[in-house]
Amino acid sequence: MSEQNNSQHTPLYEKHVEADGKMVDFAGWEMPINYGSQVTEHKQVREDAGMFDVSHMVVLDFKGSDVKAFLQKLLANDVAKLKDQGKALYSGMLNHEGGVIDDLIVYYLADDFYRMVVNAATRENDLKWIHSQLQSQTEGYDLQLVERDDLAMIAVQGPNAREKVIKLLKDDDAEKVGALKPFFGIELDELFIARTGYTGEDGFEIIVPNDKAADLWDELLAEGVKPIGLGARDTLRLEAGMNLYGTDMDEGISPLAAGMGWTIAWEPTDRDFIGRKAIEKEKAEGSAMKLVGLVLEDKGVLRGHQKVITEHGEGEITSGTFSPSLGVSIALARIPSAAKDSCHVEIRSKQLKARIVRPPFVRNGKALV
């Protein structure tokens, strides 16, 4: 008897099946790992344009007069930085001990309207945490939180991605989207288009009503934008030096030990965001560990959980893979803060030499290490 499949399907599920996507469970969703060749898909994004179904990610709309004050408490980065309509901010959402509950993007759309995009795997925990913080404030907030399950999301990434998306838009909309700066989003009738991404390439993330997602997918296909699975998404994001929640950080890891120190807004000093006291203490004492990039100099493949050996103690690889763009094995690793230049990685009882580098490894198609 076959096991019952309880995975959820995005509005683009049938499109993945049509394209012979190899479907796997990811955070409770049945998603394509690849459509034939992960390496071919990776190169498609680095050299032309590819699209990812990221509809499993969670869109949350915060509305009300107190939304800014609430998000200034909830997030380690400061939404007060967002002064221009559509501007986006990357931030950690921390627990009281300074651990990362999730990493996310928030957009400023109006003084009383912010949109947040959080990870699929952390949805239940994120919402429970956010609601608990709303309820813990005795004075209460004038705030509505809406989960936008009516929306799908398609990420279009690559050197030719923007040009191919803009060709599908009406003249006025095409002009507005063509002028969009990096890390900005814009509302256009039924679409929300943001110049953000997770690959180290330029492109857009397009939020679209569920019932319009398949048509948009087909229009992009007709422009030569090829579908890309989760496998290539992971090698692309790792080359770009971007963290994956649950792999490179979690609730037991502070942003200082996760390479996210730049996302913490320490000023103004009286903004008492959740987790501030814990990470201020860690910063003052000096974080014992740091997140770095590794490039393997011997033959082998770097994988998560392999032991890293430095002159200042041991660490561990958090994410590792063979880089299709560089032709070598690369990784993100958490190692003692004093370590630099070189280390060894234990692979099958052998200690192989690796170079310690600062991510990213690849950005906009160019090798950086």
The three-state secondary structure class of 245 is: strand
Confidence of residue 3 (pLDDT cuts 50, 70, 90): very low
Q: Is the confidence at residue 100, as pLDDT, over 60? A: yes
Q: Which residue has the tokens 């890309």?
A: 228
Q: 165 lies in which domain range? A: 1-287
**The CATH number of the domain where 293 resides is what?**
2.40.30.110
Say if residue 258 is in the same domain as residue 349.
no
pLDDT at 167: 97
Q: 293 and 280: one domain?
A: no
Residue 2 has pLDDT above 50, yes or no: no
From 224, 255, 287, give the residue that closes a domain.
287
pLDDT at 78 over 50: yes
Percent of the chain with pLDDT over 70: 98
**Same domain for 244 and 298:** no
Does 112 lie in the same domain as 93?
yes
Kindly report each contact of residues 76-80 with a partner whose C-beta sits within 8 Å and lies 24 or more positions away, as own/partner.
Answer: 76/255, 76/263, 76/264, 76/265, 76/273, 76/275, 76/276, 76/279, 77/263, 77/264, 77/265, 78/265, 78/267, 78/271, 78/273, 79/106, 79/108, 79/114
> In the chain, pLDDT over 90 holds for what percent of residues?
96
Partnered with residue 331 across adjacent β-strands are: 294, 320
Summarised one tens digit per residue, pLDDT across range 197-216 is 999 999 999 999 999 999 99
Q: Give the pLDDT score at 139.
A: 65
User: Sign (positive/negative) of CA torsion 336, 360, 229, 178?
Assistant: positive
DSSP-derived pairing of the beta strands 289-296 and 307-310 = unpaired
Q: Is the pTM of this model over 0.85?
A: yes
Task: Report pLDDT digits (tens) over 309-361.
Answer: 999 999 999 999 999 999 999 999 999 999 999 999 999 999 999 999 999 99
Q: Are residues 50 and 95 in the same domain?
A: yes
Element (H, E) at 31: strand 29-34
Q: Which residues contact 216 (CB under 8 A, 6 or more apart)?
A: 154, 168, 206, 208
Stretch 138-147: mean pLDDT, rounded? Answer: 84
Distances (CA, A) of 147 to 60, 111, 135: 5, 19, 17
Token pair for 282 = 């860690």
Question: What pLDDT is recorded for position 298?
Answer: 97
User: Can you spell out the DSSP letters for 164-207?
Assistant: HHHTTS-HHHHHHHHTPPTTBEEEETTEEEES--SSSS-EEEEE
Q: Is the domain of 280 the same as that of 338?
A: no
- Chain Cα centroid distance, residue 52: 13
Q: Alpha-carbon distance 154 to 196, whole Å?
A: 11
Listed residues 287, 315, 343: the one ending a domain: 287
Q: Cα separations (Å) of 235 from 115, 198, 303?
A: 28, 10, 12
Same domain, 238 and 365: no
Q: Return the sign of the alpha-carbon dihedral for residues 100, 101, 107, 110.
A: negative
Query: Is the domain of 243 the same as that of 297?
Result: no
**Residue 44 shares a structural domain with residue 92:** yes
Count of CB atoms within 10 A of residue 134's CB?
15
Q: Kindly give the pairing relationship between strand 366-367 and strand 226-227.
A: unpaired
What are the tens digits of pLDDT across the range 164-199? 999 999 999 999 999 999 999 999 999 999 999 999
Residues 6+ apart with CB under 8 A from 193: 165, 177, 180, 185, 186, 204, 205, 206, 207
Average pLDDT value over all residues in the chain? 96
Per-residue pLDDT at 138: 56
Of 227, 257, 287, the one marking the end of a domain is: 287
Q: Do 60 and 30 share a structural domain? A: yes
All residues at 6 or more sequence positions from 148 whose CB lies less than 8 Å from its CB, including other chains: 59, 60, 61
Same domain, 69 and 143: yes
Per-residue pLDDT reduced to its tens digit, 315-329: 999 999 999 999 999
Quick one: pLDDT at residue 141?
83
Domain with 202 in it: what CATH number?
3.30.1360.120
pLDDT of residue 7: 87
5 — pLDDT class (breaks 50, 70, 90): low
The total domain count for the chain is 2
Span 59-66, average pLDDT? 97
Whether residues 154 and 228 fall in one domain: yes
> What distance separates the 2 farthest-apart alpha carbons in the chain?
61
pLDDT for 140 equals: 73
Helical pair 38-47 and 230-239, crossing angle rounded to 10 deg: 50
How do residues 253-274 score in pLDDT, each as one tens digit? Answer: 999 999 999 999 999 999 999 9
